[in-house]
């Protein structure tokens, strides 16, 4: 009786042992880094400044990348050229030439910031937008009934020391007047995000290009502007900014620096 009872229970005991062992193995696997869905985020590579395009592009979620690529296709179509170095440098030359004409604001390459009038700033920003974005941003702002882009001279209250002008949520771009009293020339050029600027006008056009990248994200992809983990890092200069700044304006990185240490 005792023997037969023990024999009858043996399969149950074996089954119970296997189940317990399986549960233990599953528990171990789930503890392994990356072994469980919930662990992925903590082990996904983080964005770091200076990452190469092929590395930071992997940090952009697929659905967001699809939308960015579609925007780039539309811009390339509207402006009529792609993203090659020669076309980009020709477009910057065209912007500078247009800005120096009376209808483009009659700018001097070495302008005096205290003499600059709001319509000149508007014309320069519009030229950068037209040549590089083919008017897509202006269209989008009209369509979504957002406030029109404004470029104001003054001090960005959030960032009074930057060369870069700042874009605010109401589509106002601030040009920090104080910084534009400095000289930028052939002898004392500035590297603006990979572009060698030998005049103030050239540097100002490039800074407006930088701000237009933020304006594209804010107006075309407000959800990305508000919450994308691929846009927000590094004060909204994460992988999405890096990609658009490069593919739209040929800019690399998001920093400017003097080539020589001349005051
Ligand atoms: Zn920026």
Residue 157 falls within a domain, yes or no?
yes
Centre of ligand 1 to C-alpha 216, Å, is: 12
pLDDT one-digit tens code per residue, 30-75:
444 443 444 445 556 899 998 999 999 999 999 999 999 999 999 9
Question: What pLDDT was estimated at residue 182?
Answer: 87
Say yes or no: 110 and 155 in one domain: yes
Residue 45 falls within a domain, yes or no?
no
Residue 153 falls within a domain, yes or no?
yes
Residue 263 falls within a domain, yes or no?
no
CA distance 167 to 164: 10
Q: Which residue range forms the structural domain that includes residue 83? A: 51-258
Residue 44 falls within a domain, yes or no?
no
Say yes or no: 62 and 14 in one domain: no
Within a 10 A sphere around the Cβ of 8, how many other Cβ atoms? 9
Name the domain count of the chain.
2
Say yes or no: 33 and 55 in one domain: no
Say yes or no: 19 and 111 in one domain: no
The pTM for the full model equals: 0.81
Q: Name every residue whose Cβ is closer than 8 Å to that of residue 258 and which is 6 or more positions away in sequence.
A: 188, 189, 190, 191
Residue 23 falls within a domain, yes or no?
yes
Centre of ligand 1 to C-alpha 82, Å, is: 23
Say yes or no: 72 and 25 in one domain: no
Centre of ligand 1 to C-alpha 215, Å, is: 10
Say yes or no: 15 and 115 in one domain: no
Centre of ligand 1 to C-alpha 167, Å, is: 8
Q: Are 134 and 75 in contact (CB under 8 A)?
A: yes
CA distance 174 to 247: 24
C-alpha 237 chain-centroid distance: 5
Question: What pLDDT was estimated at residue 37?
Answer: 43
Centre of ligand 1 to C-alpha 31, Å, is: 40
Say yes or no: 12 and 102 in one domain: no
pLDDT one-digit tens code per residue, 104-118:
999 999 999 999 999
Say yes or no: 32 and 85 in one domain: no
């Amino acid at each position: 009786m005792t023997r037969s009872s023990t024999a009858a229970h043996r399969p149950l005991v074996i089954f119970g042992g296997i189940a317990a062992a399986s549960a233990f193995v599953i528990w171990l696997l789930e503890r392994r880094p990356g072994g469980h869905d919930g662990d992925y985020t903590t082990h996904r590579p983080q964005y770091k400044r200076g990452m190469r395009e092929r590395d930071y592009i992997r940090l952009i979620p697929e659905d967001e990348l699809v939308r960015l690529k579609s925007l780039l296709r539309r811009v390339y179509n509207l402006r009529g050229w792609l993203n090659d170095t020669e076309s980009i440098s020709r477009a910057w030359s065209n912007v500078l030439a247009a800005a120096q004409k009376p209808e483009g604001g009659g700018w001097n390459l070495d302008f005096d910031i205290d003499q600059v009038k709001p319509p000149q700033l508007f014309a320069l920003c519009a030229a950068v937008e037209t040549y590089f974005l083919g008017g897509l941003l202006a269209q989008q702002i009209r369509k979504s009934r957002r406030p029109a882009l404004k470029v104001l001279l003054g001090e960005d209250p959030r960032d009074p020391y930057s060369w870069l002008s700042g874009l605010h949520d109401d589509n106002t771009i601030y040009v920090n007047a104080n910084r534009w009293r400095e000289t930028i020339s052939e002898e004392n050029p500035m590297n603006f995000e990979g572009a060698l600027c030998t005049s103030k006008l050239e540097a100002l056009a490039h800074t407006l290009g930088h701000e237009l990248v933020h304006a594209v994200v804010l107006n075309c992809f407000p959800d990305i502007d508000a919450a994308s983990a691929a846009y927000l890092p590094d004060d909204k200069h994460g992988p999405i900014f890096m990609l658009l700044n490069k593919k739209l304006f040929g800019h690399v990185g998001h920093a400017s620096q003097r080539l020589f240490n001349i005051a």
